[in-house]
Structures are given as structure tokens and as C-alpha cells.
Amino acid sequence: MTEKLKLVNNFWHKFKKPILALAPMAGITDSAFREICRRYGADVAYSEMASVSALFFKPQRTLELVKFNKNERPYVVQLFGKDPAHFAKATKIISEKVKPDGIDINFGCPAKKVFGHGSGCALMPQKKLAREIISAVCENTKLPVSIKIRAGVGKTTALEFVKNTADFPYSAIMIHGRTYEGGFSGPVYFSICEKIKKMFPDKIVLANGGINSSEDAIKILQDYPSLDGLGIARGAWGRPWIFEEIKNLLNVGVQFIEPNKSGFDESNPYEKYNFPKIKKIMLLHAKLIHKDKGKRGLFEIRKHMAWYVRGFPGASELRRKLMLAESLEEIKKILK
């Protein structure tokens, strides 16, 4: 019965393919950025990773970190940690208090402070513990569960990891196609993602890693047609409309058969995302983050502003001014 309920309410199975996900990024995928990416074509947005131990002992700050608004739905909260009891309680707290659309388990983070504590992708080779963690999450929520893994860690491959855990009813797997050893810039093995999809056709499989343009995305979808979709992380920095660009490019085939009367291809992302339009997105992003976090948000948005203006005429001067702005009014003035 519970299994059936999970399928009925499971947003992962309601998407048109390919599914385009904003991948989780600590310090980046906050509420404002998630909303911006959802508005510009992301089908689903992941939170920053949230510590299950923090949720277990002192949840308030972490609950603040993962709160969201309805424009971000479908929204997935990602949990990290290593203690199954903490995962169990954190899952309950998130399901009951935050009420996202899904819960994700981080088996992919290589950062020292996560990996060094035995969490993130340090869990991939730990067969028994990984199973206990997935079990703790699946048993404590009615929400669909997903996992995020790497192509491999040491001798443990992503395929072995999924073989060891696929009997649990998690719905989706985002695979960062780099190994732990490959960090954030090594080769990306998309073929592993496709192999996993073919072996486990009931699981939704999203490939992630190094997808930095709509052309990259189209090529991967063409080369690995079994994939259900893609996860994009750094490719959305300063261009959250990358998701919409991919969708537009996917429609281009049809539009070439019957071009519109003006002969101007309205789906051309490079025509659409001119500087005035980008400035409007920057301002919207600033308004959203200001609404959510107040003045602190205007400091946090500086990195996004620097990414947005790359390639603008007079980028360095604009960047310099934006880095000094301390109010929404100032940002508005500068962007005018």
C-alpha cells in the first residue's frame, strides 16, 4: 500500500523527459537561486546539503537553511551525515516541518570536512552502512527518496553501489560522472550513468558533471539516449536560463521544419538572453534574495552578480560597482 502511495504521489514519474535538475550546491542553491532556475526552465531544484546531525541535535538553523516557497516546487531537500539514527530523525523532521517534494541522500560529496568525517562519498564503499542509511530515510517518510552518488570511489563503482542498494524503494539517482579521485575537474564517465539506467530501468537516472552549455547537454542526451535527464550545477552560475536554453534547443528541430513567418527564430537563446534581459534577471534575483535574507542576502548575491556580468561590455567596471552595492536601490541604479 505504502509503495503504491509512493508511486501515485511521486513527482519524479510525472515529468516529460529529459528532466533538467538544478543539482545541489552548498552556499549556492538557496531559495532565491532555486526560484530563478525554476523560472528559467529547471524542472526540479535541490537544496544545499543539510546536516542530519544538526537536525538531530539543534534543528533551527538547518530548518532555516532549507525552507522554501511554492515557486520552487518540485523541491528536494538533500541530507548528509553518517549516522542512520540521525538520518531517521532528520527525515521525519524535514517531512513534517519543511514538507518538500522529495528527500535526497548525499553519497557524493568529496569535500574534506564531509568526506573526512565519513559522510558524503566516503559512504559509497561502506556497503552495510549505506544500506542502513537508505533504509532509515525510506522508512521515515512518505516522500519520494533519491540518492546522489559519484561514478566511483576507490575500487567501489557507482554500478556496484546501486546493485547493493537498488532493492530499496528510492526513486531517482543523480550520478556525478566523476570519481572521487577526479574531484571537480576530472573526466566525466556518462557511460556509467547509462549502464545503470539500463540495468535498473525503474529508477530515474540523471547524469551530472561538466554540463556547461546547452550544446553540451544536447550532445549527452543524444549520445546516451536512455538517460532520464541531467543535473546541472556550475553550468547555471551566472546563467540560470541554461535550462530554458536546453529546452529551446530541443524544440529547434521542430521549428526548423516550420520556421515562423518573420524568419526570426524566437527560440534562439542567444537572441533572447541579451544584456537588458540578463539585467532584469539579475534584479529579480536580487529582489528575491533580499526578500528572503534581507541585507545579508545582498552580500551573498555578490558572487552571482560577478558571474552574471561575465562577457558584458564594461564587465569589470560593472562588477566593481556591484561588489560595493549595499542596498537594493543601489543595485537597481547600477543596473539601469
**Contact pick of 13, 73, 117, 234 for ligand FMN (by CB under 6 A):** 234
Q: Quick check: 121 binds ligand FMN (CB under 6 A)?
A: no
220 binds ligand FMN (CB under 6 A): no
**Euclidean distance between CA atoms 186 and 15, whole angstroms:** 31
Nearer to ligand FMN, 20 or 93 (CB): 20
| Residue 105 is a binding residue for ligand FMN (CB under 6 A) | no
Query: Quick one: 241 or 267, whose CB is closer to ligand FMN?
Result: 241
Let me know how long the chain is: 336
3-state per-residue secondary structure call for 83-125: CHHHHHHHHHHHHHHHCCCEEEEEECCCCHHHHCCCCHHHHCC
Q: Which is nearer to ligand FMN, 49 or 298 (CB)?
A: 49
Between 265 and 304, how does the x/- string for binding to ligand FMN read (CB under 6 A)? ----------------------------------------
Amino acid at 152: G
Alpha helices in the chain (DSSP H): 2-8, 31-39, 52-57, 60-66, 84-93, 112-115, 127-139, 158-165, 190-199, 214-223, 242-257, 269-272, 275-293, 295-300, 302-308, 315-324, 328-335
CA 31 to chain centroid: 12
- Does 193 qualify as catalytic in the annotation? no
Residue among 28 and 36 whose Cβ is closer to ligand FMN = 28
Helices marked H in 166-274 — which ranges?
Answer: 190-199, 214-223, 242-257, 269-272
Q: Which of 39, 176, 195, 304 binds ligand FMN (CB under 6 A)?
A: 176
- Residue of 18, 41, 74, 209 that binds ligand FMN (CB under 6 A): 209
What are the Cα distances from residue 77, in Å, to 51, 207, 243?
A: 11, 19, 20
Nearer residue to ligand FMN within complex by CB, 143 or 233: 233
Binding of ligand FMN by 44 (CB under 6 A): no
Q: Does 229 bind ligand FMN (CB under 6 A)?
A: no
List of residues contacting ligand FMN (CB under 6 A)? 23-28, 48-49, 78, 106, 108-109, 148, 176, 184, 208-211, 232-235
Which residues are catalytically annotated?
Answer: 109
